[in-house]
């Protein structure tokens, strides 16, 4: 029976590399690399101040699940704003059409999570917004709707809505939430993945000119027109037109910094 002992040992040794790999993968943590496209989209709409960035993610060691992304935006005057991701857009494929030529098909969805496979470059256009603005917007939207419904059901003149506190506070939100200034901005992209406490980071900079600021400020008036048209004028043919600034950025990449670090 002793002849079977060496055979059993050899069989166990054959499984050893596989077991080592399993144990190694169990304790191995994923890493994320982040790159961003040169051109940014800076805007101001009824969603408040927005910043859209084309970002490419790649994973090392094992697959990674991105659970949230934040932006820390700092103006050269030291004014800081925190944005969070709200949506992302993925390029699917290009289709040729007879009438209009190449047509890019894209998928837009709310930002919940992104799975990044190893050995794969995941490219997304990510839209970032100010969560504090969104919270206040939702509050005032609900309050103004209540007043609007009460006026409508009471048979009163809808124009009376413009003199209510709720409507005027809604208008003031758009007037007072414009943050963009002339000068240099530093942006820190902080990416959080599942099972990692530390964020992965990517830094970039951009600059807004006086022309950029003036163009973006015209959107404040557009916001007020959209608000008025939604509740009072109700012109079905009205279509809002938004101005955008598209500065080019410079960048410095920092990987794996602590999530409490600030710019």
Mean pLDDT of the chain: 85
Rg (CA), the chain: 26
φ/ψ of 223, rounded to 5, equals -60, -45
Average pLDDT of the segment spanning 161-177: 97
Q: Who's near 38: CB < 8 A, 6+ residues apart?
A: 248, 249
**Structure confidence by residue, pLDDT tens digits, 87-120:** 999 765 555 545 555 545 567 789 999 999 998 8
Higher-pLDDT residue of 111 and 235 is: 111
pLDDT of residue 120: 87
Percent of the chain whose pLDDT exceeds 70: 79
The answer to whether the beta carbons of residues 247 and 206 sit under 8 Å apart is yes
pLDDT of residue 167: 97
pLDDT at residue 262 tops 50: no
pLDDT of residue 8: 53
Domain residue extents for the chain:
28-130+180-234+242-263, 131-176
How far apart CA 205 and CA 248 sit, in angstroms, is: 9
How far apart CA 133 and CA 237 sit, in angstroms, is: 28
pLDDT at residue 81 tops 70: yes
Encode burial over 26-57: b for 16+ CB neighbours within 10 A, e otherwise: eeeebbbbbebeeebebbbbbbbbbbbbbbeb
What pTM does this model have?
0.81
How far apart CA 223 and CA 242 sit, in angstroms, is: 9
Average pLDDT of the segment spanning 246-261: 63
pLDDT of residue 257: 52
Cα angle, residue 257 at apex, residues 253 and 258 outer, rounded to 5°: 155
Q: Which pLDDT band, with edges at 50, 70 and 90, does 65 fall under?
A: very high
Which pair of structure tokens corresponds to residue 188? 């820190």
Helix pair 165-176, 131-153: axis angle to 10 deg? 150
Which pair of structure tokens corresponds to residue 53? 């960035």
- CA distance to 160, 163, 231, per residue, from 151 (Å): 8, 12, 11
pLDDT at residue 156 tops 60: yes
- CA distance to 17, 118, 130, 261, per residue, from 63 (Å): 21, 5, 29, 25
């Amino acid at each position: 029976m002793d002849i079977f002992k060496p055979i059993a040992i050899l069989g166990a040794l054959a499984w050893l590399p596989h077991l080592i790999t399993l144990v190694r993968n169990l304790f191995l943590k994923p890493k994320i690399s982040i790159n961003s496209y040169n051109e940014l989209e800076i805007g101001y709409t009824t969603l408040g101040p927005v910043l859209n960035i084309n970002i490419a993610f790649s994973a090392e060691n094992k697959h990674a699940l991105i659970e949230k992304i934040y932006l820390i935006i700092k103006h050269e005057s030291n004014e800081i704003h925190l944005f969070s991701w709200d949506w992302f857009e993925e390029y699917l494929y290009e289709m040729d059409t007879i009438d209009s030529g190449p047509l890019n098909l894209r998928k837009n969805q709310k930002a919940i999570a992104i799975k990044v496979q190893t050995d794969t470059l995941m490219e997304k256009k990510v839209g970032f917004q100010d969560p504090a603005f969104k919270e206040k917007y939702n509050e005032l939207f609900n309050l103004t709707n209540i007043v609007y419904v009460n006026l409508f059901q009471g048979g009163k003149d809808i124009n009376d809505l413009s003199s209510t506190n709720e409507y005027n506070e809604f208008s003031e939100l758009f007037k007072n939430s414009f943050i963009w200034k002339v000068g240099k901005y530093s942006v820190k992209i902080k990416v959080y993945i599942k099972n990692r406490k530390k964020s992965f980071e990517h830094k970039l900079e951009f600059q807004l000119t006086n022309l950029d600021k003036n163009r973006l400020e015209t959107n404040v008036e557009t916001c007020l027109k959209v608000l008025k048209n939604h509740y009072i004028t109700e012109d079905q043919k009205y279509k809002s037109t938004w101005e955008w600034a598209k500065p080019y950025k410079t960048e410095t990449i920092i990987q794996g910094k602590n999530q409490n670090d600030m710019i």
